[in-house]
Amino acid sequence: MERELTRFETLPTHIGFIMDGNGRWAKQRGLARSAGHVEGAKTFKRIADYGSRLGIRYMTFYAFSTENWKRPAQEVDKIMSLFAEYLDWILHKRQENELRGVRVRFLGDRSKLSQELIDVMDYVEAETRDKDKCTISIAINYGGRDDVLHGVRQLLRDVEAGILSADDITENDISKRLYTGDMPDPDLIVRPSGEYRLSNFLTWQSAYSELWFSDVLWPDFDEDMLDACLRDYEKRQRRFGGV
């Protein structure tokens, strides 16, 4: 049975999730790290589903950073195969997603991913492009600094082509060339696992984001925890530098 939805006075338009703590979750149970990622992937699907039912317009999940290639090949392969399984699942759930208006996007540098994976990613993005109720973005081979670098390269190309002049460049000219493109900046960033940092996630976009930390490990993050984040968010006053 579907969980009853909690009511909130205000909801963040965009939430970013740093899915951390999978390895520790597995270690605490004497399991291989990959078992933690399997559970983490289940949590991701559950939270994406619950968030979309609550009416959250954008959710961005940090699945694999530009630094994560330093992990053992077996672990990298496991994360990539869980990601591929998710893409497969999304395509099988197409009808349900269509009803819910879910769009799926990917943020990050695709050049290091397999061509097979890139083809499915392109397909999923094209299939869901016209959905506008909830956008689920998966950051894969993503780094906040790499995002800015990629955007700056685009900007320089546009300056060289005479589309823009250096003196006229605005913050928005940079924002719209990032992987997040026309998406609003995150209102709230949620990081479980007891670490108090952003780890190169949405570096430019998080300038005014509210931050929510917790000791819980990502595989144990659940609907009640998301409710707790949202209750907390309701109480925060966002002034964007004003008074």
Question: How far apart (Å, rounded) are the C-alpha atoms in residues 133 and 103?
Answer: 8
Nearest-CA neighbor of 107 among 25, 8, 204? 204
**Cβ at position 78, least distance to ligand FPP in Å:** 8
Q: Which is nearer to ligand FPP, 217 or 229 (CB)?
A: 217
- Rounded CA-CA distance 232/222 in Å is 16
* Contact flag: residue 86 with ligand FPP (CB under 6 A): yes
Active site residue 20: yes
Query: Which residue among the candidates 22, 49, 68, 185 is catalytic per the annotation?
Result: 68
User: Which residues ranging from 25 to 84 are in contact with ligand FPP (CB under 6 A)?
Assistant: 37, 40-41, 44, 61, 63, 68, 79, 82-83
Q: How far apart are alpha carbons 60 and 14 in whole angstroms?
A: 8
Give 89 or 208: the residue with its C-beta nearer to ligand FPP.
89
Tell whether residue 22 is a contact of ligand FPP (CB under 6 A).
Answer: yes
**Per CB under 6 A, which of residues 126..185 are in contact with ligand FPP?**
138
Q: Are strands 58-65 and 134-142 parallel, antiparallel or unpaired?
A: parallel
Cα-to-chain-centroid distance, residue 156: 27
Give the CA-trace dihedral at 19, 205, 137, 100, to 10 degrees.
110
**Interaction site with ligand FPP (CB under 6 A):** 19-24, 37, 40-41, 44, 61, 63, 68, 79, 82-83, 86, 138
Catalytic residue annotation = 20, 68
